[in-house]
Amino acid sequence: MTDPIAAAEAAIAADRACADPAIWITRLADATIRARAAALAAEGPQGRPLWGVPVAVKDNIDIAGLPTTAACPDFATVAGAHAPAVARLLAAGANIIGKTNLDQFATGLVGVRSPYGVPRNRFDPDRVPGGSSSGSAVAVAAGIVPLALGTDTAGSGRVPAMFGNIVGLKPTVGAIPSLGVVPACRSVDTISIFATHVDLALAAARAIAGPEAADRYSRRPPFDHLRRGGEGLRVAVIYPRPICTGPVAEVYDRVVAGLDDAERIDIAPFLAIARLLYDGPWVAERTAALAGFLDAHPDSILPTTRAILEGGRARGAVEAFDGFHALAEARRLADQLFARCDALLLPTAPGTPSLAELAADPIGPNSWLGSYTNFVNLCDLAGWAVPAGMDGQGLPAGVCLLGPAWSEGRLAGLADRIHRAHAGRIGATDQPLPPAAPPAPLGPDEIALFCIGAHMEGLPLNRAITGRGGRKLRVAATVAEYRLFDLGNRPGLLHAPGQGGAIEGEVWALPAAAIGPVLAEVPPPLGFGTVRLEDGPCLGFLAEPSGLAEAAEITALGGWRALLKRRAG
């Protein structure tokens, strides 16, 4: 457990050692940080999940009593209230260290578009730090804080995570309230989370997620989507070879080689949608958010940022409707993809541009960085950016694991395993990763279901489980008193005391509300009943004896997967 005083002193010392003033726009005084730590220590944990954890907050998110600048000094306004996400952070026991630098108005993926300076890339000071959440990511990468809030509209919570060798969580849009956040594209903005490891990011998400009545884009999850998933997932990967620098492509290929039976897909339709954010009608949404300030203070905005915002004025209604229709088609394709796969694995970014490249061309490298991120929010996806080791140039490379809305917890286990398999340290520090947390145990609102056929992971009906919030707990087997029959495309399990054998399957946790809908899709002679497992009784699939009269018995195989393997030859 965190010692609030020791954690605060470590953050202060690390910030001093880092000596990078461009990380911060408003850094709280050491005395203020220490006073908060002392108060937390005196109070004790009180069940608060982030007790004493030092946190940085991107300076487009309101903290009461501090200016919100969005990296534009003339825009600065002292916030009268905390953004809900900040209020929830504090209620969870966090200790805020300061507000961090960003690409002005969160418009950019490079991290250099700020009058407050450019935070240093911790691996190569001649490279960009990534943006727009540059300061938040660098603060975590440098070991100043283990946790930081950013925002993500087009990749701002993922690209700088790769460049800092840290974890970036891009939540489902609307899962975390966006009230108190200076909007970029309000309809697809989300607060994002940077952390040293997946489990800490999940803990932070649990603390700050949840609907907010006053937030028009807030959404209520259909199930507890932030429980950590356990076992492997069906993963789609890019075909043909990704468009990246050679070193980044090699890292991506190395991660892909560690996956089992990955499906290769062409993501060209999604890459086409990506252009809508910066070369399409959604540019106008950025302009609409800041039109009043743009009109009144054009010279207060950096030239590159102003050019982007001014470009939105030319977007018309016809182009907007064309964009809506194209996006509807992309979302349909995403639905089809995630009906047969649980996750899509992409490079987080295609490479790390140099500061010199940005100076020569302020737009091109920024657009390139969004190749694999710009479509994600538009398509209503959730994702984890995780480190995947160093590339051949000594720079961190990463991958992004994407899934449909509300899949953050389901993807977390695989995201964490990739991180641990390919990256041995936290950020640019020598700190090792802490031990991985186990999958969350069965919750009071969940029911365990023993699956023996096509509902198991990787099989055709598994989406009926995962799409309703199901998560795999473990492989299990019945006691040796069951018979198994082949019904063609599904098995039938029959309780046969005194005979039969042990049948292997999987135990999945489902929200209690999902059990009825799953059962309604199960055709006769199958249904639900109590199945005796080696470690106790469990709800599971059972068959009516009358429906098995003409079915071949396959008990000797020990399970449905063995039959599928034999069929495959």
Catalytic sites, residue numbers: 58, 132, 156
- Longest Cα–Cα distance of the chain, Å, equals 85
Distance CA 301, CA 310 (A): 11
Pair 196, 180: CB distance under 8 Å:
no
CA angle 197, 165, 83 (to 5 degrees): 60
- Cα distance between residue 552 and residue 484, in whole Å: 9
Collect all residues with Cβ–Cβ distance below 8 Å to 465 and sequence separation of at least 6. Answer: 449, 451, 455, 508, 510, 518
Distance between CA atoms of residues 172 and 408, nearest Å: 8
H/E stretch holding 263: strand 263-265
Classified as helix, coil or strand, 260 is coil
The DSSP bridge pattern shows strands 54-58 and 95-100 to be parallel
HEC profile of 126-137: CECCCCCCHHHH
Does residue 146 sit in helix, strand or coil?
coil
CB-based burial, 361-388: b 16+ in 10 Å, e otherwise: ebeebbbbbbbbbbbbbbbbbbbbbbbb
User: Can you read off the two tokens belonging to residue 318?
Assistant: 């016809």
Per-residue three-class SS string for 265-287: ECCHHHHHHHHHHHCCCHHHHHH
Single-letter code of the amino acid located at 478: T
Check the CA dihedral 285-287-290-292 and report its sign: negative
- Is the bond preceding residue 240 a cis peptide, omega within 30 degrees? yes
Strand, helix or coil for residue 513: helix
